[in-house]
């Protein structure tokens, strides 16, 4: 093979972003053989549209170790500044340590002789800083954590690279902090709100992660690439090229084949694997409660032995606040029927009246309310003033997840029946099957509270020969085996 003259290579690197990515990879990971793949071409095509102003909001969801950071936070930032040294870029990730590590890699590229040769106009300002690399023409790449200070700083491009920390994703407080940092600080840093761009690249971790939050706020062009194609796909590679990916095809089998992915799934568990590798934070069959366990009814029994309302209360009216939820249940012949779900954002006086009204409308035997700050006050007021509703305050003994895991066996053995055609059923199922990865858990909390009370009070009535669990479905970790069920040996 006759080697190309250096000027030819320089021209190719300067003109073609995938070739530029290959050069960056060779510099940053010289011991790794770079293997071009179709997904890099997909990402490159979308990034070039952002650079040209044809796309202002881009969401990219990829499995771990798919070159997303090198391609976007490092190579793309260097590419944009090389072609236009006046551009201003802010790169945000979940921690200052990671932001610093990425800044170090970026600095290795822009200080390299080959980079300065192909982009001679992109000269560093003197003096310069690693976390804020500046050009002599006013451009910069500023590295920051999601909760870091960006006061007084602006950007033509904001790149968010894994803004959620995986170890904290099941903490609602941690998720809310990330969302607030984006809403109040990061999203306000665009130099030109009509023209500047936001790029978010991350593996999905939770329905309520920052990607889910951003997608709820406004329209993004989405690039969602799973480790294993869930269906036949056709991908636009740019320049009139397409890639046809068959259902079941792996993203890059030369790097992660069936054996490697199967091992990773066993290590992580199916729920986290579906989120991070398949970009589905809620698996199709559910997490704690499986879709295949659900039973439905079309007509209510003529009479119930006991009827109960279970309330999980919330006190704020903000748009993203939790809901106050009441679930109505009936016990008949050992089965537990969900009759109604009441879901609203109300302040204390209105909520107190709603609880009392529902108790009367459904002719309930008992209303139970979680013994939290607002709930405790409503219980005390109703017990003092109501003629029809004398609620019971119930204090949770264990955490939300453990509580639902303990009661999941009642779904698994077919004790719980749901109305097939209720208008509120889609929202209820989304939350039930998505728990603990769903955005809200109020309906689940109300459900587990009701089932816990019924199990304790009527255990003799609902213990009978268990129905056989569908084959292939394992009981969630932490859930008890049904009384009388055979012990399975492996």
Q: In this structure, what CATH number is given to the domain that contains residue 148?
A: 3.40.50.300
Indicate if 302 and 329 belong to the same structural domain. Answer: yes
Return the CATH number at 344: 3.30.420.240
265 plus 308 within the same structural domain:
no
- Show Cβ contacts of residue 60 under 8 Å, excluding neighbours closer than 6 positions: 43, 46, 68, 72, 199, 200, 201, 202, 222, 223, 225
Tell me, yes or no, whether 296 and 411 share the same domain: yes
262, part of any domain: yes
| Residues in a beta bridge with 293 | none
Q: Quick check: is 486 in a domain?
A: no
Beta-carbon contacts of residue 7 (< 8 Å; ≥ 6 apart): none
Residue 399 lies in a domain: yes
State whether 270 and 300 are in the same domain: no
pLDDT digits (tens, 9 = 90+) for 188-209: 999 999 999 999 999 999 888 9
Whether 259 maps to a domain, the answer reads yes
Question: b/e string for 399-425 if b means 16 or more Cβ within 10 A?
Answer: ebbebbbbbbbbbbbebbbbbeeeeeb
Same domain, 228 and 325: no
pLDDT at 469: 46
Expressed as residue numbers, the domain containing 427 is: 291-462
Q: What is the per-residue pLDDT for 317? A: 58
Are 248 and 364 within one domain? no
Q: Is residue 159 part of a domain?
A: yes
Query: Has residue 379 been placed in a domain?
Result: yes
On whether both 253 and 298 belong to a single domain, the answer is: no
Q: Residue 286's pLDDT is what? A: 85
Whether residues 216 and 315 fall in one domain: no
- The token pair that represents 175 in the structure block: 């998720």
Report pLDDT for 2.
62
In a domain, 482, yes or no: no
- Does residue 266 share a domain with residue 164? yes
pLDDT tens-place string over residues 433-482? 989 888 888 999 999 999 999 998 887 666 553 454 444 444 444 444 44
410 & 387 share domain: yes
Phi-psi region of 51 (alpha: psi -120 to 50; beta: other; left: phi over 0): alpha
Identify whether residues 333 and 381 lie together within a single domain: yes
pLDDT at residue 319, as a whole number: 56
pLDDT at 418: 97
Residues 70, 188, single domain; the answer is: yes
Q: What is the pLDDT of residue 482?
A: 40
Distance between CA atoms of residues 136 and 123, nearest Å: 6
Q: What pLDDT does residue 316 have? A: 63
Which residues of the chain have a pLDDT value below 70? 1-2, 315-321, 460-490
**Cα distances (angstroms) measured from residue 424 to each of 139, 218, 454:** 52, 25, 23
Whether 474 is covered by a domain: the verdict is no
- The neighbouring-strand residues paired with 416 are 336
Number of domains in the chain: 2
């Amino acid at each position: 093979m006759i080697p190309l003259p250096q000027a030819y290579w320089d021209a190719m690197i300067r003109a073609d972003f995938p070739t530029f990515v290959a050069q960056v990879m060779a510099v940053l990971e010289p011991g790794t053989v770079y293997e071009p793949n179709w997904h890099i071409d997909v990402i490159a095509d979308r990034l070039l549209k952002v650079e040209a102003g044809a796309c202002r909001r881009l969401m990219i969801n990829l499995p771990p170790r798919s070159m997303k950071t090198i391609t976007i936070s490092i190579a793309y930032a260097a590419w944009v500044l090389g072609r236009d040294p006046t551009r201003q870029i802010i790169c945000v990730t979940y921690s200052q340590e990671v932001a610093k590590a990425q800044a170090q890699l970026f600095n290795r590229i822009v200080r390299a002789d080959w980079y300065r040769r192909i982009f001679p106009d992109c000269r560093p300002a003197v003096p310069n800083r690693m976390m804020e690399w500046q050009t002599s023409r006013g451009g910069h790449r500023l590295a920051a954590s999601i909760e870091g200070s960006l006061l007084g700083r602006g950007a033509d491009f904001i790149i968010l690279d894994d803004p959620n920390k995986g170890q904290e994703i099941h903490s609602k407080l941690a998720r809310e902090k990330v969302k607030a940092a984006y809403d109040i600080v990061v999203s306000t840093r665009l130099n030109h709100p009509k023209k500047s761009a936001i790029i978010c690249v991350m593996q999905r971790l939770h329905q309520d992660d920052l990607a889910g939050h951003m997608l709820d706020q406004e329209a993004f062009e989405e690039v969602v690439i799973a480790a294993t194609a869930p269906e036949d796909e056709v991908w636009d590679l740019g320049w009139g090229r397409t890639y046809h990916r068959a259902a079941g095809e792996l993203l890059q089998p030369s790097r992660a084949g069936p054996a490697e992915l199967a091992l990773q799934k066993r290590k992580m568990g199916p729920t986290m694997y579906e989120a991070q590798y398949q970009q589905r934070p809620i698996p199709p069959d559910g997490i704690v409660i499986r879709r295949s366990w659900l039973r439905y009814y079309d007509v209510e029994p003529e009479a119930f032995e006991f009827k109960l309302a279970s309330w999980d209360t919330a006190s704020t009216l903000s748009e993203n606040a939790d809901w106050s939820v009441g679930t109505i249940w009936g016990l008949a012949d050992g089965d537990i029927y969900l009759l109604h779900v009441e879901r609203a954002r109300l302040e204390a006086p209105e909520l107190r009246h709603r609880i009392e009204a529902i108790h009367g409308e459904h002719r309930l035997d008992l209303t139970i309310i979680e013994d939290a700050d607002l709930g405790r006050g409503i219980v005390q007021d109703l017990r003092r003033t109501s003629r029809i509703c004398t609620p019971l305050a119930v204090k949770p003994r264990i955490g939300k997840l453990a509580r639902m895991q303990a009661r999941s066996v009642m779904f698994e053995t077919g004790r719980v029946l749901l109305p097939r055609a209720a208008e509120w059923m889609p929202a209820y199922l989304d939350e039930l099957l998505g728990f603990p990865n769903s955005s809200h858990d109020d309906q689940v909390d109300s459900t587990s509270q009701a089932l816990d009370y019924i199990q304790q009070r009527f255990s003799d009535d609902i213990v009978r020969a268990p129905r056989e669990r569908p084959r292939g479905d394992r009981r969630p970790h932490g859930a008890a085996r049904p009384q009388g069920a055979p012990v399975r040996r492996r």
